[in-house]
Amino acid sequence: MPTLRANFHDLTREALRLLTVRWGFSPVHAARLWRYVYLDRIEAWELMTDLPVRYRDRAAAELALTHPEIAVETHSSDGFTRKYLLALADDRRIETVLMRFTGRVTACISSQAGCAMGCVFCATGQMGFTRHLSAGEIVAQALHVNRVLHSLNPGERLRNIVLMGMGEPLHNYDAVMTATEILCDTAGLSLGTKQITLSTVGVVPGIVRLADEGRPIHLAVSLHGATQEERAALVPVAKKWPLDALMEACRYYIAKQQRRIFYEWTLIEGKNDTAENAHAVGRLLHGQDAQVNLIPLNPTAGFAGIPTGQEAARRFQTILAEYNLPSTIRQRRGIDIAAGCGQLANAR
Ligand code: SF4
């Protein structure tokens, strides 16, 4: 019976070094192997000709250097967004999005297959939870995007990652943090830690842990409602971690990390986009080092809401400014291929 090989991409550079030493080889070989994969983009063992054959054979026998297959690829009509439905080794499907706007290349990657949080307006939430992704499966999405970029323009590489794809990253904390460590490794993809943004729907213990561990990644919190009742109607997990507890965790994070929080607010016509709603957000966040990202609702099959129009969104923004809260209105891109916020699902 063939032995089950570990996923190479699950390993940090230090873990690979320790494994190599355990096998009785020099750490120098581990460093070279790491460079082959993360800097030279070489994934075929036989092409790693600088490695001693015995080490290469041992690594190939123990470690799988595979990447997810592209099941479906779609491009937005404006040419800025590409969405990939990727098939994992067990044939679970996840989505990864490449956004290639002038001067800014960003990958939106998934942390879980499905999601357990059940936000009512979100296609991933509507499909339910299947399983957590491993660190390697998260890293593999970034590598996939990097390969695409390299094929489009050899000089171009991934500069920004948002963990805003399928899944709640703080529900899969350890794998996500290992993945960010691998992605930021200066001997590899070398993403600046400030180039990674993690979006949570409000998993309070995860926010506190993030603050305590001093992980220098940007934090975005999906708010959507400024009272407990309104928020819980859109984000069921608010019943477990109420608004008061969430705000306390956010203030703790800002104080401990000395870092701004980005609050995401999906604008739904007639539901949470009135002047009263805007004042409630202003009062709730007043005094925090915060920025509000306003995202007109993106359509999904399972939610009947309507996106707020531009004019009403701008009115909302003007009211936030009265509370000294900076805000942006997210441009709607990739909607024609269901690659916008809240639209990712594993449709074949
Ligand atoms: S918005 Fe995020 S946390 Fe909520 S259901 Fe969708 S993927 Fe999960």
Q: How far is the CA of 63 from the centre of ligand 1 (A)?
A: 32
If you average pLDDT over residues 130-141, what whole number do you get?
Answer: 97
**Binning pLDDT at 50, 70 and 90, where does residue 3 land?**
low
Which ligand 1 atom is nearest residue 166's CA?
7
How many whole angstroms from 340 Cα to the centroid of ligand 1? 13
Q: Which band of pLDDT confidence, cut at 50, 70 and 90, is reported for residue 348? A: very low
Query: Per residue in 330-339, pLDDT tens?
Result: 876 677 777 7
Beta bridge partners of 200: 221
Give the percent of the chain with pLDDT over 70: 97
Q: Is the dihedral of CA 31, 37, 42, 46 positive or negative?
A: positive
Supply 276's token pair.
């009263």
Across the range 153-171, mean pLDDT stands at 92
- For residue 235, pLDDT beyond 60: yes
Residue 19 has pLDDT above 50, yes or no: yes
Residue among 207, 190, 269, 271 nearest 233 (CA): 271
Average pLDDT over residues 140-165: 91
Residue 276 has pLDDT above 70, yes or no: yes
Residue whose CB lies within 8 A of the most ligand 1 atoms, among 119, 121, 129, for a mutation test: 119
Q: How far is the CA of 124 from the centre of ligand 1 (A)?
A: 6
Of the residues 43, 95, 213, 264, which is catalytic? 95
**pLDDT tens digits, one per residue of 179-193:** 999 999 999 999 986
Least confident of 83-97, 140-154, 195-209, 326-340: 326-340
Query: What average pLDDT score do residues 29-49 get?
Result: 95
Q: Catalytic: 95?
A: yes
pLDDT at res. 32 = 97
Question: Among the atoms of ligand 1, which is closest to the Cα of residue 199?
Answer: 2
Better-scored residue on pLDDT, 258 or 66:
258
Among 53-57, 152-156, 319-323, whose mean pLDDT is lowest?
A: 152-156
Band (14; pLDDT cuts 50, 70, 90): very high
pLDDT in tens, 189-209: 999 867 999 999 999 999 999
pLDDT of residue 123: 87
How many angstroms is it from 299 CA to the middle of ligand 1?
Answer: 14
pLDDT at 194: 76
CA-nearest residue for atom 7, ligand 1, is 167
Predicted pLDDT at 134: 97
In degrees and rounded to multiples of 5, residue 215 shows phi and psi of -75, 120
pLDDT, mean over the chain: 93
pLDDT-based confidence at 95, cuts 50/70/90? Answer: very high
Catalytic status, residue 230: no
Distance CA 325, CA 226 (A): 14
Contact residues of ligand 1, CB 6 A cut-off: 115, 117-119, 122, 124-125, 166-168, 201, 342
Q: Which atom of ligand 1 is nearest to the CA of 125?
A: 5
Predicted pLDDT at 346: 53
| pLDDT value at residue 347 | 52
Average pLDDT over residues 127-153: 94
Mean pLDDT within 131-139: 97
For residue 235, with 0-12 CB atoms within 10 Å meaning exposed, 13-18 middle and 19 or more buried, which class applies?
A: buried
Radius of gyration of the chain, Cα coordinates, nearest whole angstrom: 21
- pTM higher than 0.75: yes
Percent of the chain with pLDDT over 90: 80
